[in-house]
Structure 1
Amino acid sequence: MISRFGRLPLRSRLALLTAAAMAVAIAVAAISCWLITRDQLMREFDRSLMQAEVPSTLPEVIRTVGCEEERPPGLADELNTDRTTAQIVLADGSACWLQGEHTIPVTETDRAIAARGGPRTEVVHDVTSDGTEWRVRTISGGLTVNRQPAAISLARPLSEVTDPLGTLALVLTLVAGGGVLGAGAIGLGVARAGLRPVERLTHTVEHIARTEDLAVEIPVEGDDEIARLSRSFNAMTAALATSQERQQQLIADAGHELRTPLTSLRTNIELLARSEESGRELPPGQRRELLESVTAQMTELAALIGDLQELSRPDAAPDKAQLEVVALDEIAGRAVRRVRLRAPEVRIDAELAPWFVRAEPAALERAVVNLLDNAVKFSPAGSRVEVRLGRDGLLRVRDHGPGIPEAELPHVFERFWRSPSARSRPGSGLGLSIVARTVQQAGGTVELRRAGGGGTEALLRLPGAPEPPPGSLAAIRGRGPGRSA
């Protein structure tokens, strides 16, 4: 049953739940009304029966006239009990009808009360006669008829209460049924009106899934939950569209960047292959230059592929499991040693004060290497690059090259962007964009600016402290006050 309900459309489920809730509420109200009415009617019924008192002259009349006649004259006038049925009950179980349309069967309780005599005694009990239920009140108090102890029974049919209650139950049932049907109709209408924005959202999602058109937006009305959902969905599609656009741009830029070294590599390899096929050997100097060019182009392709792999990682913050407390001065020292091996013609001076940060070690070292590579690439032979890591956590990398024009500084961290003056130099234009993303993921900042006296200065700042936090691996290993690389 539950599984069937779960397979129903949401609109039908809402209508059924609304109808069920209304049915429960109406049923509780109807039953409460019926029970309250029944209690009130029964109290009034019992009160009217108990108020039917026997006149003080009735015992003398009974002794005078006896009970031989079918109806002793004058007794009904003395009773004056309106709709109450009355009869005299003798100790031997016989009865003398006084008033009313029916006689009431004499029970053992009535005979016991009649035979008791003595002081006034009364008891109330129910009797069924010919399918009719009666509530009987039997009273004794020194009455005798034909020299036998006697009592008077006053009775009223319970139908005076049950008939109105039956009618009320029928009316309440009809009203409850109509209320449930009305509630179902109202619930269906409310479900349709309430789910109309959800239907629009569903149609939009289906359209996007079918056409992959991320430019479609859902109209937003109001500030309710549906409006919030619509705004969130629009924000999600906008983010997806931006991501798709960036992906397409990355593919296009990567294809453009790969085309040049691949074309040059293909040309050089074709020249070497043609020389082998024709048997005409190239001059040793030209052959050596071709092989060096092929090696350089392969190295450039490998670096470009590595950069593309780095940029293909999600822009979100890295997994916390990959973060650890590392010494930025150690990472910068290793980066300096690596770049010195690649560019021995440029002098790199480094002064590194202790500074501990929480980051991904490999990515952070790659970012520092890229900063140093960028500085070395634009430094003339015999010049120097200065690397300083202060006790405030600011890493400075300064070269003495031609510098970057002010108009080009806002673009240096864009993917595949290269200065017009640097397009003849090796590189893919991805190094600084990798630096910016790595630093941003570590919670830091990086910028490039023109240095006083010429050249370019890179400023990298990461949140951290000059001492490692207690319990970290760096704290366990222990560190000196500072060093130079």
Structure 2
Amino acid sequence: MIKRFRTLPLRSRLALLVAVAVAVAVAAVSTTCWFVVRGKLLDEIDSKLKAQTAPLRTTDAVVTLRDCSQAPARQTDYGPKPVYYVQLVRADNDDACVFPRSAGTVKVDDVDQRVARDADPTVLTFRNGTDSEGRDVRVLTIAAVVDGGSAGGVVADTALLIAFPLKETEGTLDDLALLLLIVSGIGVVAAGAAGLWVARAGLKPVDRLTGAVEHVARTEDLTVRIPVDGEDEIARLSRSFNSMTAALASSRDRQAQLIADAGHELRTPLTSLRTNIELLARSEETGRAIPPADKRALMASVKAQMTELAALIGDLQELSRPDAVQAEPLKVVALHEIAEAALERARLRGPELSIEAELEPWYVRAEPASLERALVNVLDNAVKFSPPGGRIDVSLTAGELTVRDHGPGIPADELPHVFERFWRSPSARALPGSGLGLSIVARTVQHAGGEIALGPAEGGGARAVIRLPGASTPPPAAP
């Protein structure tokens, strides 16, 4: 049943749930109403029975006990027919002594005999019973008393039983039950129809969203946008979908641009490699040896191109990694130690340069390998654009790492593009590099929660500033 329910459309499930909820509520209210009315009607009958005890608790009881007829007197066709059942019950006998003006005989119950044995005239006992013909009656049993109800007038082991027929009361309750059933059925059907209408109206935005998702899945068209109206959950879901498709479209555009740019950058070293290898192969095929000096230069060129190609592939792998995926878990690292290691590599690449450094202790949370690579890229740029015999100043103070060179600097119109992938200044096209270094630097710094700025330095050259949140002392070790 549950599996079948889950296979229904959402609007059908909502309508069914509304109908079931209304049915339960209506059933509870109807049942409560029926029992309340039944209780009120029985209270009225009990009041009538109680009112009949006074005139009957007289010496008539003595006469009735003396004659002790098992059936009421035969009634004539004249005068009103009796309504109440009146009889005396003995504690030790199931047969009752019926009053002459009784409407019939009521079956004696154990409760009636117990009241006769107790002989307490202050206790009134009500119950439902049946008469000799099987009709339902309401019964009041009380200890039999004569002579005005004094304590001395109690008839030993005898109880007075008065009953009233329940035919009209039961008919009223049956009519009420039928009416409540009809009203409840109408209410449930109306609630189901209203629930279905509300579900259809409320799920129209979901239908639009579903249609948009199906359209995107079918056509891969990420330009689809859903109109957003209001501030409810559906509006939030629509905004989230629009944001998701916009992010996917942007990601796909960046991916396509990355592939196009990578293909363009890979074409140059691959073409050069192919040319050099073809020269070597042609030399072997024709038997015409390449001069040793030319061959050494050719092999050096092949080696340099292979190195450049490997570096480019490594940069592409780094940039192709999703932003949410980290190559290594973040760790607390000493920025000054990583900067010192990067400086050693920079000095090897520019032995003719003077690199001055002042590094204060600073600890940050970052990926150690990625952070070192980023610092090496920044220093490589400074080495690459520094004139022979030039100087590079490096300082680390309060989490701010500054790298300043004395090269040609960066034109103002090129500053907005320095962190773009594969972008290279026209003046740097002849120098080795792929144009991905600063992009990797910016990405690594952002992952560490910092920021980077690159601009002209006072007195000429360029100045790169990296700011990373951290502390001047390492955090205490975990226990």
Same fold (TM over 0.5): yes
Amino acid at match of 1:46: D
For 2:309, the aligned partner's letter is L
Rate the CA distance shift 1:95–1:411 in 2: closer, same or farther, 3 A: closer
Q: Percent identity?
A: 58
The answer for the alignment partner of 1:9 in structure 2 is: 9
Alignment of 1:409-428 (within 5 A): 409-428=415-434
Relative to structure 1, is the Cα distance of residues 343 and 105 closer, same or farther in structure 2, using a 3 angstrom cutoff?
closer
Q: Residues 277 and 130 (structure 1 numbering): CA distance in 2 closer, same or farther, change over 3 Å?
A: same
Aligned-partner residue type, residue 337 of structure 1 = E
**Which residue of structure 2 lines up, in the alignment, with residue 141 of structure 1?**
146
Once residues 160 and 202 of structure 2 are traced to their aligned partners in structure 1, the CA distance between those partners, rounded to angstroms, is 70
What is the deviation of 1:193? 1.5
Residue of structure 1 equivalent to 2:314: 306
Q: Residue 353 of structure 1 is aligned with which of 349, 357, 360?
A: 360
Say whether residues 1:213 and 2:221 are aligned partners.
Answer: yes
For the residue of structure 2 that corresponds to 1:51, the secondary structure is: helix
Letter in structure 2 aligned against 1:98: R
Equivalent in the alignment of 1:232: 240
For 1:173-188, what aligned pairs fall within 5 Å after superposition? 173-188=181-196
> By how many angstroms is 1:112 displaced?
11
Partner of 1:84: 83
Q: How does 1:16-165 map to 2 (within 5 A)?
A: 16-52=16-52, 55=55, 84-85=83-84, 95=98, 97-98=100-101, 102-105=103-106, 107=108, 126-137=129-140, 140-141=145-146, 154-165=162-173
Q: SS of the residue aligned with 1:415? A: coil
AA partner of residue 103 (structure 1): G
Structure 2 letter corresponding to 1:314:
P
Instruction: Report the counterpart of residue 293 of structure 1 in structure 2.
Output: 301
Matched, 1:267 2:289: no
- How far the C-alpha of 1:83 sits from its partner, in A, is 6.1
**Matched position secondary structure for 1:373:** helix
Partner SS state of residue 203, structure 2:
helix
Partner of 1:479 in structure 2? none
**Equivalence for 1:338:** 345
Q: How far apart, CA to CA, are the structure 2 residues paired with 1:347 and 1:108?
A: 120
Structure 2 contact 408–461 (Cα < 8 Å) conserved: yes
Q: Corresponding residue for 1:432? A: 438
Aligned mates of 2:39, 2:251 — CA distance in 1: 73
**What secondary structure, in the 3-state scheme, does the structure 1 residue paired with 2:276 have?**
helix
> How far did 1:346 drift?
2.4
Q: Quick check: 1:388–1:396 contact (8 Å CA) kept in 2?
A: yes
Mapped contact 1:325–1:472 kept (Cα < 8 A): no
Rounded to whole Å, the distance in 1 between the matches of 2:395 and 2:139 is 112
Q: Say which SS state the counterpart of residue 458 (structure 1) adopts.
A: strand
Query: 3-state DSSP class of the match of 2:371?
Result: helix
Quote the offset at 1:232 in angstroms. 0.6
For structure 2, the residue ranges without an aligned partner over 5 or more in a row are: 149-155
Q: Give the drift of 1:229.
A: 0.6
What TM-score do you get using the length of structure 1 for normalisation?
Answer: 0.84
Deviation of 1:36 after TM superposition, in Å, equals 0.4
2:290 aligns with 282
Inter-CA distance 255–142: structure 2 relative to 1 (3 Å threshold): same
In the alignment of these two chains, the number of paired residues is 458
Work out the CA distance in 1 between the residues paired with 2:177 and 2:28.
Answer: 13
| 2: CA distance, partners of 1:116 / 1:281 | 138
| Residue 70 of structure 1: how far off its partner (Å) | 5.8
Aligned to 1:406: 412
Q: How big is the shift at 1:189?
A: 1.6
Q: By how many angstroms is 1:342 displaced?
A: 2.2
Aligned-partner Cα distance in 1 for 2:320–2:18: 51
State the partner residue of 1:449. 455
Cα RMSD after superposing both structures: 3.6
